[in-house]
Structure 1
Amino acid sequence: MKSIVSALFVASSLFAADVASLTKAELPSLVSLYKELHANPELSMHEVETAARIAKELRAVGLEVTEKVGGNGIVGVLKNGDGPVILVRTDLDALPVKEQTGAPYASTKVVKDDLGREVNVMHACGHDIHMTSFVGTARVLAKTRDQWKGTVVMIGQHAEERVLGARLMLRAGLFSKFPKPDKALALHCASDMAHGQVGIVEGYALANVDSVEIVVKGVGGHGSMPHLCKDPIVLASQIVLALQTIVSREVKPGDPAVVTVGSIHGGTKSNIISDEVRLQLTLRSYKTETRKHLIYSIKRIVKAQAESANMPAEKMPEVIVSDDQAPALYNQPALCAEVRQHIGAVLGAENVLAREPVMGAEDFAEYGLTKEKVPLCMFWLGTQPPEAVAEAKAKGTTLPSLHSPFFKPIPGPSIETGVKAMASAVIGLMKP
């Protein structure tokens, strides 16, 4: 038994050394690629050049690549004998944000969005780090084929920020036209973790997200004659306050839920009572039944408030639930335990942290909700200087968050950690 344990320890040490040394060798060119991607971001559904660039990188290391999958999605397949099929996903798109990091490679790109408006574009969510780590992982896997058996399916997914890309790629035959995965992995930048570390959440990690618009109608008129009008601003205000009771009084304590009114627009002038107000809401939850209850309660409260204001039937508010929704991400605990072990072998167990779930959204969850029920694990990648993280914690302050114009990952060590973590996880899951 002792000799078997010793052999396993030696094999694990060699595996870790190989991944670390190969990653270190690739790092200079990967940092260069990162800066190129960062300076040339593209909005969701417009990732044409980005997708082509990543496809070129995958082909260069021997993957069989298919482009334009469900839009701008790409799929690369690397076969290496009989064994499990592991899916590795990166996202490709950027955000309409004006970068203010001051980095010498900062984005200055300005484009027209889908509505024809000129907007600045920035990789403010770290998708450029994701893509670079993805490319580095492909390079390491291609050079370590003696250590794993099976098939790796590497996908570059478009339109993650609009929670559309995963659905579009699945509808285009991702699981039928390409090898069907047994397990799926992804990483995501964290703005509050030190580089050199990763974090894993077992179970629910990210939330269901729904966007709701409420159109509050009224009868407009002169501000001096409110008795002749039906004021939608007053009604909208009552609705906003009433919605706050859903989470505080209708959702079971301990069951995470959020109802946020993020936008309210109505009226044109101080002495005019308008005839319409529009509210925009974001809803967050984990459980399906909680999600359904939030939507039901919003519709109920809106109707009741309008009836209490004696609104006529033709002036009742509309509640519009968007089709663009993200399901909750469930990280399968058993897969997370495996991933933790394999990453710990390369980074050190002390650098694989337990994270708390958050109410953000990610359409990576879609890959686990098909009839195949593929187990998922998305882990968080530290991107900030350790001293900055320690100082913020000591002072009780926060570092610039994801989606902030000031979010600035430290490229070299963040990418190195991302490649080592993902490559070690994939190889570990595919050990012959």
Structure 2
Amino acid sequence: MSSRAAETTRAILTGLDLTGLAAFYRDLHAHPELSWQEHRTAAAVAARLAAAGFTVTERVGGTGVVGVLRNGDGPVVLLRADLDALPVTERTGLPYASTVPGVMHACGHDLHLACLAGAAEALSRARSSWSGVLVVVAQPAEEVGEGALALLGDGLFTRFPRPDVALGQHVGPTPAGTTIHRPGLLMAASTTIDVRVLGRGGHGSTPELCVDPVVTAAHLVTRLQTIVSRETSPSDPVVLTTGVLRAGTQANVIPDEAYLALNLRTRTDGARERVLAAVRRMAEGECAAAGCPRPPQVEVTGRFPLTLNDPGADATVSAVHAELFGAEAVIEHGPLMGSEDFSYLGLAEHNGGTAIPTAFWFFGGTPWQVWEAAPGDGPEDKLRTVPGNHNSRFAPSAEEGLRHGVTALTGAALAYLA
């Protein structure tokens, strides 16, 4: 099956004109929108799918878009990409850089959408080459881990055909033409934790009359580092990052409170619960030691699931990618400590008790000349200098990244539809 899918992919993508698709990508990149605000982006994707012959429904799960193309008997295949951007100020210097102050497609979702559109259009033009139902989903709010659940809650698999397999991909800073696959656990679970340290404010000249939450929060940031270094096993990896530390508005005012936002990455539920308990214990201990008038507020405000690939689906897709890009370009790597909410689409507890096979992979977006010019001999050295996801200078190749991503997604779909 993989040989037939690869041959069909090559045939329908022969002479693929990237000019219009690249213009679409650059337009999306120049007009990024934050989670749950992706109205312009969603409308642009919907228009493109409608022009390709899909039956399109907008505002699914908020700002989501679902396109359905029925083409005879066969499996139902879902292709998914994400709509939202990040609150990052772009520093790429690209001629099509973000025109929205403080907002950037720093994770590559604009490229995902362009690849999704390209694959959908190619498959629509080549309906004589496959049979089945193609469901194309542009998902909102991936960056906050809420969009996939919102789609499911709005009847994604009751209002629209329930898929036999769900497929998704993500661009990364590796060289264009490479793909990263892994059966089973591909990416970690993520948990967002908000901590409020409640002190007693006052004049900066009389700290003895106050309980300074800034000092307490600073101690807590340092103490939290010992959770990974002293309370977790190296065999059960954990990442705990303090992404936000905010307090005060004036140099001579001791504020009433300080705010921390923590990001936790784990590969097991047990590790997650142990770290959460440690965060609460340390926050309460530091506040007690400082004499805070009230205990801290510790709240879990967001979470992503483990990204789990169905072994059979991953093997099917990676076999096609090996034929399309060469076996040496298909890399088994991971598990990675990044996170995605894509796996919600396949988990049994969110799908009426029956799991849906899912396959998710990474494709490279860095031009080869940029990769080869980067300092270092090995991939790890180069990844320290090549701007990656969530970096203000992340700039995957419009042409090479598009060609690679469209090919990868089209081939994966045809592994089931051809």
Whether the 8 Å contact between 2:2 and 2:415 is mirrored in structure 1 is no
> 1:316 — aligned with what?
295
- 1:168 aligns to 2:146 (yes or no): no
Deviation digits for residues 325-344 of structure 1 (CA, Å, limit 9, x no counterpart): 22221122221111011122
- 1:87 aligns to 2:70 (yes or no): no
How many Å apart are 1:66 and its aligned residue?
A: 0.9
| TM-score normalised per structure 1 | 0.87
| CA root-mean-square deviation | 2.4
> 1:157 — aligned with what?
139
> 1:333 — aligned with what?
311
Mapping 1:1-400, distance limit 5 Å = 11=4, 14-21=7-14, 24-108=15-99, 110=100, 119-191=101-173, 193-221=174-202, 228-267=209-248, 273-312=254-293, 315-322=294-301, 324-369=302-347, 370=350, 371-392=353-374, 394=376, 396=381, 397-400=384-387
SS in 2 for 1:62: coil
> 1:407 — aligned with what?
394
Whether the 8 Å contact between 1:400 and 1:406 is mirrored in structure 2 is yes
Deviation digits for residues 120-159 of structure 1 (CA, Å, limit 9, x no counterpart): 3322221121111111111221233333322111101112
Task: Measure, in 2, the Cα distance between the counterparts of 1:221 and 1:173.
Answer: 52
Counterpart of 1:341, as a letter, is A
Deviates most, 357-366 or 410-419: 357-366
Q: Which has the larger radius of gyration?
A: 1
Whether the 8 Å contact between 1:160 and 1:166 is mirrored in structure 2 is yes
Identity %: 40
Whether the 8 Å contact between 1:19 and 1:423 is mirrored in structure 2 is no
How many Å apart are 1:174 and its aligned residue?
A: 0.3
Task: Measure, in 2, the Cα distance between the counterparts of 1:389 and 1:60.
Answer: 36
SS in 2 for 1:216: strand
Whether the 8 Å contact between 1:19 and 1:346 is mirrored in structure 2 is no
Q: Would the alpha carbon gap of residues 202 and 391 (structure 1) be closer, same or farther in structure 2, given more than 3 Å must change?
A: farther
Deviation digits for residues 350-392 of structure 1 (CA, Å, limit 9, x no counterpart): 2222232322222212212223322221111111121321332
Counterpart of 2:315, as a letter, is A
Structure 1 unpaired stretches of 5+: 1-7, 111-118
SS in 2 for 1:357: coil
Task: Measure, in 1, the Cα distance between the counterparts of 2:2 and 2:181.
Answer: 24
> 1:5 — aligned with what?
none
Task: Measure, in 2, the Cα distance between the counterparts of 1:28 and 1:271.
Answer: 57
Deviates most, 151-160 or 289-298: 289-298
How many Å apart are 1:226 and its aligned residue?
A: 5.2
Task: Measure, in 2, the Cα distance between the counterparts of 1:349 and 1:219.
Answer: 62
How many Å apart are 1:201 and its aligned residue?
A: 2.8
SS in 2 for 1:176: helix
Counterpart of 1:292, as a letter, is E
Structure 2 unpaired stretches of 5+: none
Q: Would the alpha carbon gap of residues 405 and 246 (structure 1) be closer, same or farther in structure 2, given more than 3 Å must change?
A: closer
Task: Measure, in 1, the Cα distance between the counterparts of 2:358 and 2:30.
Answer: 31
